[in-house]
Structures are given as C-alpha cells and as structure tokens.
A and B are shown apart, each in its own frame.
With several copies, the nearest count.
Chain A
Amino acid sequence: MTTPSTHLREDLDSVVIRFAGDSGDGMQLTGSQFTAATALMGNDLATFPDYPAEIRAPAGTTYGVSGFQIHFASIDIMTPGDAPDVLVAMNPAALKVNLDTLKRGGLCVVNTGAFTKGNLKKAGLEANPLEDGSLDPYRVLALDITKMTLEAVKEYGLGAKDGQRCKNMWTLGLMFWLFGRDRQPTVDWLKQKFKKKPVLADANIAALNAGHIYGESAEMPSGIGTYQVPRAELAPGRYRNIEGNQATAWGLVYGAKLAGLEVFYGSYPITPASSLLHHLAKLKHFGVTTFQAEDEIAAVCASVGASYGGQLGVTGTSGPGVALKAEAIGLAIGVELPLVVCDVQRGGPSTGMPTKTEQSDLLQAMWGRNGDAPLAVLAAATPGDCFYMAIEAVRIATKYMTPVILLTDGYLANGAEPWQIPDLSQFEPFPVNFRTDPEGFHPFVRDEDTLARAWAVPGTPELMHRIGGLEKHHDSGHISYDPNNHHKMTKVREAKIAGIQKDLPDAKVHLGEDSGELAVVGWGSTYGAIHQAVEQVRASGKRVSHVHLRHLSPFPPNLAALLSRFDEVMVPEMNNGMLDKVLRAEFGINAQGYNKISGQPFYIGELVAAIEARLAGKNPNQMYDAHGSAHGAEA
C-alpha cells in the first residue's frame, strides 16, 4: 500500500479512494463507474459501498452520508483497503464523517460549493473545516465543483436541480484524469441510461468531460499530479465484476442445472438479501420461479412445499428472517427434504444495523432450532466465491436430502470484485434421481452411503406416501412414538449430516505451514483481510498460518488434526465470538477470538496488530475494546 506522496509520482502499486457525499449525490453510481473503468484497466480491485439505512435521509446531515470505497492495484488485493489515500468529499457532512479515516498526507478533494453556512450547520460543524486547520495534515484540492458543473451544463437548459445532479460526473471526470482511466465506457453507459432523455445524457457527459478537462488544464496545487496504477497480474481469462448476491443467485441457478432441477425461490424482502430476489426474478427463463411471500415463514414453507414437489426449494433472507424460519427449517430437517437457506448476515441483535455487515448468525445457523436439528452450514469467502458455494449448497442439499444454510453477509452481498468467469465445463453434474420404483419403497428408505432418504414426488404412480413433522418410524416411515425409534432416528439424522464430511475437501492452509505457532482461522467475508494480514505478519518471519473455512457444518475432515498442530488458534470474527465457541465445542481446542462488532469489515492493519499482540501473548480484544476501530485503523 503506497501513499501518494507530496511529490509527483507516476506509478503507484495500489490506491484506495473513498467517494463520499450526500445520499442524493450519486456516490454509489460514481463509485461503480470508477470501478468499471478500473477493471477495464486491468487492475485488481475490491469495493465497499457503505450507505445509510434511510432511503434518502435529509440532505446535508451526517447520517445521510453515502460512501463508496474502492481499492485498486497492480498487485493482488483482497480488501477494499483500510485508510483511503484519496477522499472525495462532496459536502461538509461527508468530510466530517470520513476525514478521520483518510491517511495523513492523503489527498482530499472537496467541493467547496457545498460548504455553505446551512450545510455546515446541518453537519453539526461549528467552524468551517476548510478554514480552521482541520485539513492541514492532508493535501487538499478544494474546488467549487457545484459552480463548475453548473457552468459546464448550462447550455442544456436544465433546472438548477437537474444541473446540480451532474456534479458527480464532473468529479468522476476529474478522478479519471487523476488516475488515467478511460471515459468512454461511462459515456456509453450514460447514453444507455438516459436513452429516453438524451439531454440528460448530454449534460452528464459534458460534466464528465469538463471535470477531465479541468484536470488537464488547471494549475494543480503542488503535490498533486497524475498517477498510474499498472495492470495487475491476474490469471488470464475473461473477467467481469460481480457482487455477492448476484453470484449467489447465479450459483443457485447453475447448481440447480447441475442437479437437473428447477429453482423455486421463496423470499420476503429484507436488507441486505433483497437483491437475491431481484436477481432471480430476472431469470425466470432459466427455469426459476420466484415467489415474494407474505413473510419469511411463508417464504420458507412455500420453498419446502416446492421441494416436496420436486423443485429445488431455496429461501433467502437476513438474520431476523432466519429466526422466523427456524421452525420450518426444523420441519425440513424432520421430513428430510432439500432446502437451501441463504442468510445474508447484517448487524444484530434484533433489527440492529440493517445496512451494516456482521457475521453474527453463525450460532443461530448451527443451533437455532428446537430439538436436535442438525443441518449443513456453508460460508462464502468473497463475492465471487458466492457462486461456487451456492453450487455446493445445492449439491449437498440434493445429495443428502437436507436443508443447507449458506452464510454470506452484507459486505459480500453488495461488494464487487473482478471475477474470472468460470469455465462451466469444470463442473461435474450431480443429477437428482427421483424415486420411481415402488419396489421396497417407503418414504424413509435410505441410501446406504449418504443416508439420504428417497425423494418421491407427488404425481409419481404407486409411491403415494405421507410425511410430516411428527417422529417417523425408521423402517415404515409411519408416525412413531416408540422411544427407541426416536433415539435411532435422532442418531440417523446426526449421522447423515456428519457423513457429509467424507464428501468434503480438506481444510486448506491458505498461507503458511500446516503447523506452527499460530493458526489464524477465519470464515466468510473476512477472508481477504485475514489473508493479507497474515501475509504481512509472515513477512516479519513469524510462524503464522491462515486457515479459511467454507464448510462449517460439518467441518472439513482434516480440521481437528490440522489445528492440533498449532500452538494456538486465533479466530478473528465480525461478531462477539462464535466460531471460536464452535471449535472449542467440537474439538476441545483452545481457540481464542478476536472480535470487531462495528458493522464494518476488518482493516488489515487492525488484524496485523491483533496477530502480533496474540503472538506476544497479549489479548488483542482488550486493545480493540479500548480504542475502537476507526482510530486503530491507521496502525
């Protein structure tokens, strides 16, 4: 991570930019366009959209600030970066909220046009930071972007409101100039977007160009010049950007195709899972049925009903919705039907912080049901990995006739990464064999190997049967209150899930040796941050390894043995300590958590400090709890 220094430097390895403005300032759009242009330049990149819970909070307030952070580099990167090198602040509130995170010496681009008395007050600022020395530690590019934008678009005769809306494109033009990105894709996109209102397209393009021209022609303050981030060395192939929910949706559809099934997606909108529904609703021609149910309970029940009908029942939601689905998931466990439950986690407890990310549904996924109710739990590591893990969820659900919970989170769901489009021929189909043979059939006859029961779909002649949530006789499938039978069936349900382990790849040591002083064990979206932190610590010669889990129930076959070869196990999580509990419960090993519960992804710097503290025999949590994250970030 190299910081743009006070001297003009052409080549940078890696840059982190944070666009911040009012909810109405179009920062998410600006960010995505910058991302697209950057991807085309061949950089590796990672992004982090961070927006308020309000749809459109009142202009100018701090809680209405919307941010988009992008990290791009010529090297392999895995996180949207810790502290930004560049902050674009479209108004005082955006500056106030984000300035703290900007690196010392970093570049701060400010729209002075928005620094009116009214806006300062709305942001709760007593003094004007442009004047009170707050910006002294940074390089500042203070421009009246509002005025220059209005100037640039005036010939199109837009009202002041529409004219002002082009500010973000002006800014984007300037940033394109600064980092040498191509404007054309954005021009094309604007034309497409405003197909029906060409004047808006023209005005926005004019603003975009004006920003660029401003950079080309204006006298820049000393220390600010143009930069270049060379292409990253990525594996050759075709790439696209992908967001987690999109990848999950595609993985479900493709997984179902591999299973030879159609997808039934029953869901009820909830942040940050809603876009799963939106993506799937667009794929009806892929054999997808989407059902927007009246609530989460109906959603999961309809999906189980669909699985009984021979489709792949899938339901998606976030934490509060998973809580509501618990009873019905228990039924799916009892009747042993396939079901995929996508849990896009967010900050809890209760409504919590709906637009913020967290990993705090792990224990709920494992154990949040009445009775002994085991199921499979998976977790995706990156936005693109959601595709692969969704396929894996379908595979396990159909092969073992079981519900599978796939954990992702808000950060994966909305975060984008460049993704190598997979070669579809690499995937082995795993077709479902519906039972049609009446010979020896009863609903709970099992495959000897997988212990999966037979899947007989209504409509099939001679296989008529009844299933339900009451305990069933292991042999006839009829209701049974026989004590020994219940014991036996509980053990079979456990054995079936445990048996999936035979079918899983070993846990991988992503970095380092398979034994040593410290194993840093992660799961889910912390993959990138942990990886890079471990890499940094290893660079100083420490015997630290990185193990990342994508299968959480059951765990990979080698996990117990692997972890036992380390002196200590550290589990960083964006929750108050869950996987560490599970590891202790399962393996009796002394796993210790490092926990950040701030609704924000880990910074690499934090993790480096934490790992080093752990190696020095200290408890990194105490450090964290005392100082909090935003401030520890520069470490």
Chain B
Amino acid sequence: MTENPKLTRKDFASDQEVRWCPGCGDYAILAAVQRTLPKVGASLEKTVVISGIGCSSRFPYYMSTYGFHTIHGRAPAFATGHKLANPEVDVWVVTGDGDGLSIGGNHLLHLLRRNVNLQIMLFNNQIYGLTKGQYSPTSTVGKVTPSSPLGSVDQPVVPVRFALGAGAKFVARGYDVSKKLGDVLEASYRFQGTGFVEILQNCPVFNDGIFELITDRKTGPAYQLWLEHGKPMVFGKNSDKGVRFNQATFSLEVVDLGGDITEADLLVHDETNRTLAFLLADMPNVVALGVLFREEGPVYDESVRTQRKLAEDKFGTPDFEALMRSGHTWTVS
C-alpha cells in the first residue's frame, strides 16, 4: 500500500462520540492509531478493526474504517477468518487483558502460532473495565476488587511472555500516552505476520495509576527500557543505567553505568532471539518497551493461499460435472 498523502488523522475518526470515561488511556491509544494509519499509507476502505468485548473493544466504533465489534474473547478468530477471506485489507485486532487473555486466551495462542498477517493491540489495564472493576488475569496478586474483596490470589499472566511461549513472531510493548506508541504500532503493521503489541493502559476509574511510575514524565525514564535492535541496552534519565547478562544466575541485571561498567559490558538487543525476549518480558523493576522480538517466518494466510494455488495447479480448472462423475458411476437406461 502506498503512502496516501491526502488522509489525515481526522479522516480516521468516525462521527460517533467517543464514550470512554474522561481520562481513560484508551483515548491516547485511539489517537496514536489515528495518527499512525495515515502515516503508513492505510486507506479507510481497506482497513478493518475487529474487537471483542470490553471498554477497549468499543474501539471500532470510533474509527471511520470498517469495523466489527464481535463477542467476548473471539476477535482473533473472526480476524483470522476475515483475513483469509479478504486478504487485501489490513486487519487490526483490538482486545483487552480480560478479552484477550481470560476468555480469549486460546484464540490468541492459536492466532500467534499461526502467524496470520494482522496486528493485535492488547490494552492491558489489569482490570475488567466494562463490567466494573473485577480483577483480570493480569491483575497483581493481592488486588482488591469487588470479586476479590480480600485480594486476588491468582498469579498474573505476563502477556508478552505468554506470547513468546505461544510462538509469536512479533512481540512488542508500549503504553497509552507514550510518544513512541505510534512507532511501535507502525513496526507491527510493517511486520509480515501477527504483530502482537501489549499496550499498558490506565483505567482511571477502576485501576488508576498502576503504571504511573513507569509512565510519569519524571519517574518514567528510570523504569523504561526502550529496546533497539543491535544497540546496547541503555536507559535512565541520563542514559546512566544499563542491562547486563549474568551467566552465573542466567538472568538479566540492571547496572549503573560509569565507574567499572561501560556500554561495552551491556547486553546488545537482538530482536531475533526469542530467549532474550523471554528474559526481557518480565524484568523486575524495569519495563522493556519497543520491539522485544521479531522473526520473519511463514505467514499463515499466505500459506493457505499458496496451497490453494497448488491445488489449482495440481487438479486443474474445477469441473463440477467431473467431480460428480468421479469414481464408480453407472448408467440406468
């Protein structure tokens, strides 16, 4: 698809009033998507947004593209069918931590391993927003909610780690109000296959401020490890921290640069290494952001189409008469 210079962010906004709560992180994500689409040259008619159910899944209504607000947890399946049937369109899947990882975890697993060519944005606010605040599969242990009045006892899923275990070939992370979110989304769009992006999202109503340390302008730099392929892992306000691999413990550790330790001691990000991404997925005290993992590989919808062509080559022009007359037949006269 070529750059379409005529479209702007506003063109991607539908005429429906946005109905999220004031201050919801979803607004920023919507804006990032609406900014990114014209940038990557997407067209209105060739863009389809498919979602499940949840606050986040209202997303398609606010886009002026095609959209399908489906049922809870199943968006990956609808999207797979749609992409197979209608390969010319760009498919964006929107889901939440409940929609995508609770009821929909299995479909996500199979979408990721199949590597269908589409993008999936998982809005992780660590809560069920739409049903008014129950804990979700990404909520932390101890979380007090109406369904866990004494605190949740469920160990949370780490979405990015789950995706890597599932065999995902593009795994990235961003957050709602991040300036770089558009870049991450663009990278997922450019990837041939399933581009999985976890987006940390603030729910001011039911789970306010859980990512504040990370996303706050002041405190954020000390927690945000933005990854760049081939670059050493440096972060911090003054680029004064780094990440090193400790072979003895077989784990990553955060170090202060300066003194004995220089950039040369740091781990260089290799986005093609699944194990490294796995390590980065769940670091204590630091959140790895950007593209954690990217591996080119067979794209499901292409393979399906290729196989259909193969069948056409092998069996020739379909002839329904001939099909019905294949095998034993006999004539009664």
| A adjacent to B, CB under 8 Å | yes
Q: Are B50 and A239 in contact, with the CB atoms below 8 A? A: no
Which residues from A are CB-within-8-Å of B14?
A: 466
Give the residue name and chain of the B residue nearest to A54 (CB): B19
Q: Are A295 and B329 in contact, with the CB atoms below 8 A? A: no
Question: A274-B132, A294-B137, A302-B80 known; A240 and B70 CB under 8 Å?
Answer: no
Q: How far is the CB of A547 from chain B (nearest CB, A)?
A: 29
What string of 1s and 0s marks CB contacts (under 8 Å) between B285-320 and chain A? 000000000000000000010011001101111101
CA distance A268 to B327 in the complex (A): 27
CA distance A26 to B203 in the complex (A): 19
The reply on A36 being an interface residue by CB < 8 A is yes
Q: Are B69 and A294 in contact, with the CB atoms below 8 A? A: no
Q: Are B129 and A55 in contact, with the CB atoms below 8 A? A: yes
Q: Are B329 and A238 in contact, with the CB atoms below 8 A? A: yes
CA distance A264 to B77 in the complex (A): 13
Which residues from A are CB-within-8-Å of B20?
A: 54-56
Q: Are B81 and A286 in contact, with the CB atoms below 8 A? A: no
Question: A40-B328, A56-B21 known; A294 and B81 CB under 8 Å?
Answer: no
Question: Which of A42, A59, A294, A301 has most chain B Cβ within 10 Å?
Answer: A294
Q: Are A469 and B70 in contact, with the CB atoms below 8 A? A: yes
Q: Are A351 and B105 in contact, with the CB atoms below 8 A? A: no
Cβ 8 A contact of B46, one of A240, A351, A459, A465: A459
Which residues from B are CB-within-8-Å of A250?
A: 320, 323-324
Cβ 8 A contact of A308, one of B78, B137, B146, B318: B78
Which residues from A are CB-within-8-Å of B69?
A: 351, 466-470
Question: A55-B55, A285-B315, A478-B16 known; A240 and B328 CB under 8 Å?
Answer: yes
Q: Are B68 and A274 in contact, with the CB atoms below 8 A? A: no
Cβ 8 A contact of A238, one of B47, B50, B78, B325: B325
Question: A306-B84, A466-B60 known; A240 and B325 CB under 8 Å?
Answer: yes
Chain B residues 1-44 with CB under 8 Å of chain A are: 14, 16-22, 44
Q: Are A309 and B85 in contact, with the CB atoms below 8 A? A: yes
Question: A285-B312, A458-B48, A465-B66 known; A63 and B77 CB under 8 Å?
Answer: no
Q: Are A282 and B71 in contact, with the CB atoms below 8 A? A: no
The reply on B246 being an interface residue by CB < 8 A is no
CA distance A40 to B20 in the complex (A): 38
The reply on A303 being an interface residue by CB < 8 A is yes
Question: Which of A54, A234, A281, A313 has most chain B Cβ within 10 Å?
Answer: A281
Cβ 8 A contact of A311, one of B21, B85, B323: B85
Which residues from A are CB-within-8-Å of B205?
A: 55-56
Q: Are A239 and B330 in contact, with the CB atoms below 8 A? A: yes
Q: How far is the CB of B258 from chain A (nearest CB, A)?
A: 44
Stretch from B147-155, B209-217, B234-242 that touches the partner: B147-155
Which residues from A are CB-within-8-Å of B78?
A: 301-302, 304-305, 308
Q: Are B74 and A297 in contact, with the CB atoms below 8 A? A: yes
Q: Are A310 and B323 in contact, with the CB atoms below 8 A? A: no
Give the residue name and chain of the A residue nearest to B15 (CB): A478
The reply on A287 being an interface residue by CB < 8 A is yes
CA distance A254 to B330 in the complex (A): 22
Cβ 8 A contact of A309, one of B47, B81, B129, B331: B81
Chain A residues 235-273 with CB under 8 Å of chain B are: 235-241, 250, 253-254, 257, 262, 264, 266, 268-271
Q: Are B45 and A461 in contact, with the CB atoms below 8 A? A: yes
Which residues from A are CB-within-8-Å of B333?
A: 236
Q: Are B137 and A289 in contact, with the CB atoms below 8 A? A: no
Which residues from B are CB-within-8-Å of A420?
A: 332
Question: A284-B308, A302-B78, A424-B321 known; A310 and B85 CB under 8 Å?
Answer: yes
Chain A residues 462-478 with CB under 8 Å of chain B are: 462-470, 478
Q: How far is the CB of A179 from chain B (nearest CB, A)?
A: 17
Q: How far is the CB of A594 from chain B (nearest CB, A)?
A: 31
Which residues from A are CB-within-8-Å of B304?
A: 289, 291
CA distance A464 to B324 in the complex (A): 41
Q: Are A459 and B70 in contact, with the CB atoms below 8 A? A: no
Q: How far is the CB of B62 from chain A (nearest CB, A)?
A: 9
Give the residue name and chain of the B residue nearest to A323 (CB): B71
Which residues from A are CB-within-8-Å of B89?
A: 309, 458-459
Q: How far is the CB of A275 from chain B (nearest CB, A)?
A: 8
Question: A266-B81, A289-B85, A290-B147 known; A351 and B328 CB under 8 Å?
Answer: no
Which residues from A are CB-within-8-Å of B243?
A: none
Q: Are A291 and B74 in contact, with the CB atoms below 8 A? A: no
The reply on B103 being an interface residue by CB < 8 A is yes
CA distance A266 to B78 in the complex (A): 11
Give the residue name and chain of the A residue nearest to B321 (CB): A424
Q: Are A55 and B321 in contact, with the CB atoms below 8 A? A: no
Q: Are B320 and A286 in contact, with the CB atoms below 8 A? A: yes
Q: Are A56 and B22 in contact, with the CB atoms below 8 A? A: yes
CA distance A269 to B96 in the complex (A): 14
The reply on B64 being an interface residue by CB < 8 A is yes
Q: Are A285 and B82 in contact, with the CB atoms below 8 A? A: no
Q: How large is the interface on B (under 10, 10 to 19, 20 to 34, 35 or more residues)?
A: 35 or more
The reply on B194 being an interface residue by CB < 8 A is no
Question: Which of A39, A253, A290 has most chain B Cβ within 10 Å?
Answer: A290
Chain B residues 55-93 with CB under 8 Å of chain A are: 55, 60-61, 63-74, 76-86, 88-89
The reply on A57 being an interface residue by CB < 8 A is yes
Give the residue name and chain of the B residue nearest to A188 (CB): B328
Which residues from A are CB-within-8-Å of B85?
A: 262, 264, 289, 305-311, 313
What string of 1s and 0s marks CB contacts (under 8 Å) between A37-63 and chain B? 001101000000000001111110101
The reply on A621 being an interface residue by CB < 8 A is no
Q: Are A291 and B84 in contact, with the CB atoms below 8 A? A: yes
The reply on B140 being an interface residue by CB < 8 A is no
Q: Are A298 and B74 in contact, with the CB atoms below 8 A? A: yes
Give the residue name and chain of the A residue nearest to B61 (CB): A466
The reply on B134 being an interface residue by CB < 8 A is yes
CA distance A83 to B321 in the complex (A): 37
Which residues from B are CB-within-8-Å of A305?
A: 50, 68, 70, 77-83, 85
The reply on A328 being an interface residue by CB < 8 A is yes
Q: Are B147 and A277 in contact, with the CB atoms below 8 A? A: yes
Q: Are B82 and A235 in contact, with the CB atoms below 8 A? A: no
CA distance A39 to B129 in the complex (A): 33
What string of 1s and 0s marks CB contacts (under 8 Å) between A583-608 and chain B? 00000000000000000000000000
Q: How far is the CB of B313 from chain A (nearest CB, A)?
A: 8
CA distance A306 to B68 in the complex (A): 12
Give the residue name and chain of the A residue nearest to B148 (CB): A281
The reply on B170 being an interface residue by CB < 8 A is no
Question: Which of B85, B88, B314 has most chain A Cβ within 10 Å?
Answer: B85
Q: Are B328 and A241 in contact, with the CB atoms below 8 A? A: yes
Besides A238-B330, A268-B102, 7 more A-B contacts (Cβ < 8 Å) are A266-B81, A274-B131, A289-B85, A298-B110, A421-B325, A458-B48, A468-B61
Chain A residues close to B by CB (< 8 Å): 36, 39-40, 42, 54-59, 61, 63-64, 185, 231, 234-241, 250, 253-254, 257, 262, 264, 266, 268-271, 274-275, 277-278, 281-287, 289-299, 301-311, 313, 320, 327-328, 331, 335, 350-351, 420-422, 424, 457-470, 478-479
Interface CB pairs A-B, < 8 A, 30 = A55-B206, A58-B19, A239-B331, A239-B332, A240-B328, A240-B330, A264-B85, A269-B147, A274-B134, A275-B146, A278-B149, A291-B80, A293-B110, A294-B103, A294-B107, A298-B74, A305-B81, A306-B82, A308-B86, A309-B85, A320-B71, A327-B71, A328-B71, A328-B74, A331-B70, A351-B53, A351-B69, A421-B329, A424-B321, A463-B45
Task: Report the 7 A-B pairs with minimum CB-CB distance, sorted nearest first.
Answer: A468-B69, A302-B81, A305-B81, A309-B86, A309-B85, A56-B21, A301-B77
